[in-house]
Chains A and B, each alone.
Chain A
Amino acid sequence: MAEIRIKGVAKAFGAFTALHDVDLTIADREFMVLLGASGCGKTTLLRIIAGLETATKGEVWIGDRRVDQLPPRERGIAMVFQNYAVFPHLTVFENIAFGLRMKKLPQADVTRRVTRTAELMHIEQLLKRYSGQLSGGQRQRVAVARALAMEPEVILMDEPLSNLDALLRLEMRAELKGVLAGSNTTTIYVTHDQVEAMSLADRISVMNGGKIVQAANPVEVYRNPAARFVGSFIGNPPMNFLAATPAGSGQWQVGGQVFAGPEAPAAEFAIRPEDLHPSDAGLPAEVRVVEPLGPHTLVTATVAGQPFRVVLDSTLAPRPGDVLHLAPMTDRIRWFNPETQKALQ
C-alpha cells in the first residue's frame, strides 16, 4: 500500500513562496499528474515528495510512514529526471543495476531484474552501451528502466518526455502508460503539457501560483473546471469567456442573448470552442481569422468586442468579416465568479 498524503506542505525560497499549504491525497496505484505552467510549484512539490527539497512546513506520508524527515533513499521512491540523469561512466546494464546493487541483492537477482526491465522497455540490445552512445529516446528508456527495476512503491517523474521530439514523445507516452499500468506503483508525473496530462492521468492536479486549483479526473477537469484558470489553461484552443450582465433572477445577458445561469451578484459566461454550432439565432460572432486544420476549422472571431474562438466542421467555410450566429450547447455552458474566479453553481 502506498497511498501518498500531503498535509499542509508549504515551501518558501527566501521571500518567494513556491507552495502555499498544499493538501493532496494520492490513492495507491493511482497515476496522478501535476499540471501547470512553469513556476507554478509542481516540480517543487515533486522534489519535496522525493526528499530532494525540504518543505518549510507540512507533512508527507507514504503508506503509513511519515517521510518528510527521511533522506530520499529511505522513502521507497524512484525518480525519473527531465534530463534522464543516466550515469555516463556506467553501462546501461550497470545503470539499471545501480539501485539493486545498493540494496546488496545477489548477482543472480540483479541480472534477472535488469534483464526483465530492459525487455519491458525494449532496450535489451543496448545493455553493454554507455549513455554517450544512446539517443535521447533510448536514454529516456534507460532512466525509466532504472526506476522500474527498483520495484518502488512510488515512481516520481519530472517532465520525462519534454526533451524528446514530438513523434517520439507520442510513442513513449503510450508506452509509459502501458508499462506503468502493469506495475504496482503509485505514480506522480509532473508536466506542463496538457495533452500528456489528459492522456496519462487517472487524476490531474492543476496547479497555479503554488496552489492546487483542482484535482479531478481528466474529463471532469476538462468539462467542469473548478476555476477560470483551469478552463483557460486546459484545452487547445482554451475555453472562451464572455462578460455577462444580469437580466433578472438567474438570467444573464451575454452578447445580446439571454441565458439561464446561476443566482449570483455577478457572473462570467464560459463555453468551450467546440461546444457551439452555427444556427439562425445565437451569439453574433464577427469572423477575424479562419484556419482550416483538416478535420475541423478553427475560427477566431469577436463577440461583443471580446475575443472568441470556435471549432467548426470543415465543410463550413466562413470568411473574415462574415457574421456567424453561434448557438452554445446549453448543458456545456459554465459560469464563473468574476471576483474569486471560482466556478459558480
Chain B
Amino acid sequence: MTDATLPDAPAAPNHVRRSGNWVFATGVALLVAWVLVPIWLLMANALSAPEEVTAFPRSVIPSFDTASLEFFFGFRGVLDALWNSIQVACVTMVLAIGLGAPAGYALTRFEFPGKEAFRFLVIMTRAFPLPLLALPLAVMFIRTGLDDTILGLALVHATLALPFAVLITFSLFSGIPVELEEAAWTLGCTRLQAFAKVVMPLAAPGIAASAVFAFVISWNEVFAAAVLTIENRTLTAFLLQSLDVSPLHLKFAGGAALVIPALLFIFAVRKYLFAMWGIANR
C-alpha cells in the first residue's frame, strides 16, 4: 500500500465517534439546563399557590394559582415602580438609538481620522465597573439635581446601552450596500432623502430591535437604579429593597415579573443580536 491510496484523514473508530457524540449531547443538555431550569423554577413557583412554594415534597407541575402574582401586583409601590421602570427604559431607548444609530451609520459610511480609536472607545465604556462609577455619579447628580429623577437614571442606562446600540446599528448599516444610496443620489435624492427613502426602510426592523435591546438593558439594570433613586425607584431597585424581607412566593412572583418581559423582548429581536456577532440565523 502506498501513501497515495490513503485517505486524507483516517476515519475515527466507531467507539471514538460514539463517545464524541455523547460528549456533544451532554454539553448541549447541560447548557440548555443551565438556562432553562432556573426559568422553569421561577415560573413554576410564581404560578403556585403560596403554601405550595415551601411545601415538601412538591409537585413538578405548578397549580397555576395566580394568588402570588395578584398579591405582588397589589403590593403598595409595585405599580409605581413598574411605571418608573417603563419610563426610564423608554428614555434610555430614545437616547441610545438617537445617539447610537448616527454613530453606527458614520462608522459604516465614512472614513475619518480616529475611526479605529473611536470603535475601541465605544467598547471601552463597558470596561469600567458600575460600582466604581456609581458613587461619584451620585454625588454629581445630587449637585446638579439629577438625583432621583427619571432622566438622571436614564442617562446612566443610556451609557450602558450605547455601545450595543452602536455595534448593532453598525452591523445593520454595513449590511446595506452603499450602491443603493448612490443609486438614490443619482436618481435625484439629497443625502438625507436617500437615507430616509432607502436606508431607513431597510434598517428600520433592525433599529427597532436595537431599541428593544436598549430597553431591556435598562429594564434589567439594578445597581445604578438602587444607588441613584430613592423615591422614584424602578422595579428592579424596588424589588431589591422590598423582597429581601418578603416571603418566598413573593420573591418568585417579583422575579417572574422582571424576567418574563425581558425574555420575550430578547427572543423577539434575537436575529439582530446574532447579527451583531456575525452569526447568521436563518
Cβ–Cβ < 8 Å partners of B179 in chain A: 81-83, 85
Distance (whole angstroms) from the CB of A175 to the closest CB of chain B: 21
Distance (whole angstroms) from the CB of B239 to the closest CB of chain A: 43
Is A85 within 8 A of B177, CB to CB? yes
Does A120 reach chain B (CB closer than 8 Å)? Answer: no
Those of A77-96 within 8 Å (CB) of chain B: 77-79, 81-83, 85, 87-89
Does A128 reach chain B (CB closer than 8 Å)? Answer: no
Is A102 within 8 A of B187, CB to CB? yes
* B201 to chain A: closest residue by CB: A89
Does B189 reach chain A (CB closer than 8 Å)? Answer: yes
Is B202 within 8 A of A78, CB to CB? no
Distance (whole angstroms) from the CB of B75 to the closest CB of chain A: 47
Does A58 reach chain B (CB closer than 8 Å)? Answer: no
Most chain A beta-carbon contacts within 10 A, residue among B179, B183, B188, B193: B183
Does A99 reach chain B (CB closer than 8 Å)? Answer: yes
Distance (whole angstroms) from the CB of A37 to the closest CB of chain B: 22
Binary A-proximity of B186-217 (CB < 8 A = 1, otherwise 0): 11111001000110011000000000000000
Q: Pick the contact of B186: A79, A87, A89 (CB < 8 A).
A: A79
CA distance A73 to B189 in the complex (A): 6
Those of B41-64 within 8 Å (CB) of chain A: none
Known: A81-B179, A85-B177. A102 touches B185 (CB 8 A): no
Does B182 reach chain A (CB closer than 8 Å)? Answer: yes
CA distance A5 to B180 in the complex (A): 27
Known: A88-B202, A102-B193. A72 touches B185 (CB 8 A): yes
Our count of residue pairs bridging A and B at CB distance below 8 angstroms stands at 58
Does B184 reach chain A (CB closer than 8 Å)? Answer: yes
Cβ–Cβ < 8 Å partners of B182 in chain A: 50, 52, 72, 79, 81, 85
CA distance A78 to B183 in the complex (A): 8
CA distance A254 to B196 in the complex (A): 66
Cβ–Cβ < 8 Å partners of B193 in chain A: 102
Is A73 within 8 A of B177, CB to CB? no
Known: A83-B177, A87-B198. A73 touches B188 (CB 8 A): yes
How large, as a class, is the contact surface on chain A?
A: 20 to 34
Known: A81-B179, A85-B179. A99 touches B185 (CB 8 A): no
Known: A83-B177, A85-B177. A73 touches B202 (CB 8 A): no
Distance (whole angstroms) from the CB of B20 to the closest CB of chain A: 40
Does A146 reach chain B (CB closer than 8 Å)? Answer: yes
Those of A4-29 within 8 Å (CB) of chain B: none
Is B186 within 8 A of A77, CB to CB? yes
Known: A88-B202, A102-B193. A71 touches B185 (CB 8 A): yes
Distance (whole angstroms) from the CB of B254 to the closest CB of chain A: 43
Distance (whole angstroms) from the CB of A130 to the closest CB of chain B: 12
CA distance A71 to B184 in the complex (A): 12
Query: What DSSP secondary structure best describes chain B's contact surface?
Result: helix
How large, as a class, is the contact surface on chain B?
A: 10 to 19
Is A73 within 8 A of B186, CB to CB? yes
Is B180 within 8 A of A78, CB to CB? no
CA distance A98 to B185 in the complex (A): 11
Cβ–Cβ < 8 Å partners of B189 in chain A: 73, 102
Cβ–Cβ < 8 Å partners of B185 in chain A: 51-52, 71-73
Known: A81-B179, A83-B179. A150 touches B187 (CB 8 A): yes
Distance (whole angstroms) from the CB of B268 to the closest CB of chain A: 21
Cβ–Cβ < 8 Å partners of A98 in chain B: 184, 187, 197
Those of B243-276 within 8 Å (CB) of chain A: none
CA distance A103 to B202 in the complex (A): 23
Distance (whole angstroms) from the CB of A98 to the closest CB of chain B: 5
Cβ–Cβ < 8 Å partners of B202 in chain A: 88-89
CA distance A156 to B185 in the complex (A): 14
Most chain B beta-carbon contacts within 10 A, residue among A52, A146, A156: A52
Cβ–Cβ < 8 Å partners of A150 in chain B: 187
Distance (whole angstroms) from the CB of A53 to the closest CB of chain B: 10
Cβ–Cβ < 8 Å partners of B188 in chain A: 73, 99, 102-103
Most chain A beta-carbon contacts within 10 A, residue among B182, B186, B188, B202: B186
Ordered by A's residue number, 16 sampled pairs between the chains whose C-beta atoms are within 8 Å are A51-B185, A72-B185, A73-B186, A73-B189, A79-B182, A79-B186, A81-B183, A82-B179, A83-B179, A85-B182, A87-B180, A88-B202, A89-B198, A98-B197, A99-B188, A146-B187
Supplied contacts A71-B185, A79-B186, A103-B188, 14 more A-B pairs, CB within 8 Å: A52-B182, A71-B190, A72-B182, A73-B186, A73-B190, A77-B186, A79-B182, A83-B177, A83-B179, A87-B198, A89-B198, A98-B187, A99-B187, A146-B183
Which residues in A have some Cβ–Cβ distance to B below 8 Å? 50-52, 71-73, 77-79, 81-83, 85, 87-89, 98-99, 102-103, 146, 150, 156
